[in-house]
Amino acid sequence: MRATVLVRPKAGILDPQGEAVGSALGHLGFDVQDARIGKVIDLELEAADAATAKAEVERMCERLLANPLIESYEVEIVG
Amino acid sequence: MITYPGSQDDRDALWALGALDAEPVPVWHDESELPDLDAVVLPGGFSYGDYLRCGAIARFSRATAAVRRFATAGGLVLGICNGFQILCEAGLLPGALLRNESLRFVCRDVRLTVGRDDLPFTARYASGQQIVLPVKHGDGRYLPPPNLDPAQVALRYVDNPNGSVDEIAGVCNEAGTVMGLMPHPEHAVDPLLGSDDGALLLASLVDAARERVLAAT
């Protein structure tokens, strides 16, 4: 089974990387109000079904993949 | 002194502690038991390549598990730079360290104000004293948890080099037995290096460890 994890800086956490990219997009003429940069983690795992896989990946997020103080995460089971 | 793959300031810290008449012992990261120690130092560097987040992987190494047991039993633990990041990731210190606000690696001497002089790490300073230590990091912007007790702030930057909230450069746990800081005391132990203010921090730790040993005998 394949899973994709999206890790984002939490709302309210200063993201200077996002600000720099947002400002660069502005210089290119794009009308961007806000840019935030996170990360994507693609996983392949063995699991009986999608619900079990999702629960397992959420445990991975809590323990390692995201730091709950500064990051939020979303898990998508691709199938 | 715990050495992780990617640690780079362990040798300077070993040398500095040796010069202060401590008997520093190097411990490799895959040791699951610590030798008989009176204090632990987690050095600066880029443990496990800083992959995922700084300190995130080192937190799960065998030696860190042993350090956690040591700290939980009240042992003295000092984390410098990457060591500070590891202690935060491990939950032994509050808060997190994020990318510098400037997005630039900073490498220079900074002035700091000592917040507390009653800690095992700061006893040789006076509260309110200004000291100079070098910083060298890309991810040093300290973000405290919402409930951080201001009494846990051991050091503050005079000129904030990284955007840390409330100018926080170093914090301790509630008991005052675990401390982390982004500046490098081990690089400031001789006037030839530009400052010897860092020797006082390490010497405070050596004093405290020695007092504990004497009190136990």
The tens digit of pLDDT for each residue in B98-109 reads: 999 999 999 999
pLDDT tens digits, one per residue of B10-29 = 999 999 999 999 999 999 99
Residues B85-97, mean pLDDT to the nearest whole number: 98
Predicted pLDDT at A2: 96
pLDDT tens digits, one per residue of B34-70 = 999 999 999 999 999 999 999 999 999 999 999 999 9
Domain count, chain B: 1
Average pLDDT along chain A, 79 residues, taken 10 residues at a time = 97 93 96 96 96 97 95 94
Predicted pLDDT at B168: 98
Which of B60, B102, B145 has the CB atom closest to A69's CB atom? B145
Q: Options 3.30.1280.10, 3.20.20.450, 3.50.50.60, 3.20.20.120; which CATH number does A2-77 get? A: 3.30.1280.10
Please give the full DSSP string across chain B, using - where no structure is assigned: -EE-TTB-SHHHHHHHHHHTT-----EETT-SS--S-SEEEEPPB-GGGG-SSTTTTGGGSHHHHHHHHHHHTT-EEEEETHHHHHHHHTTSSSSEEE--TTSS-EEEEEEEEE--SSSTTTTTS-TT-EEEEEEEESS-EEE--TT--GGGEEEEESS-SS--GGGEEEEE-TTSSEEEESS-GGG-SBGGGTB-HHHHHHHHHHHHHHHHHHHH-
Global pTM exceeds 0.90: yes
Predicted pLDDT at B217: 82
ipTM metric: 0.85
Between chain A and chain B, the number of residue pairs with CB atoms below 8 A apart is 30
A3 interfacial to chain B (CB closer than 8 Å):
no
Residues B152-177, mean pLDDT to the nearest whole number: 98
Across chain B, what does the average pLDDT equal?
A: 97
**For residue B19, what is the domain's CATH number?**
3.40.50.880
pLDDT over 90, % of chain B: 98
Residues B111-123, mean pLDDT to the nearest whole number: 97
Contact B103 A16 (CB under 8 A): yes
Domain that holds residue B181: 2-216
Predicted pLDDT at A79: 76
pLDDT at position B171 over 90: yes
Query: In chain A, what residues touch B89 (CB-CB under 8 Å)?
Result: 67
Residues B86-101, mean pLDDT to the nearest whole number: 97
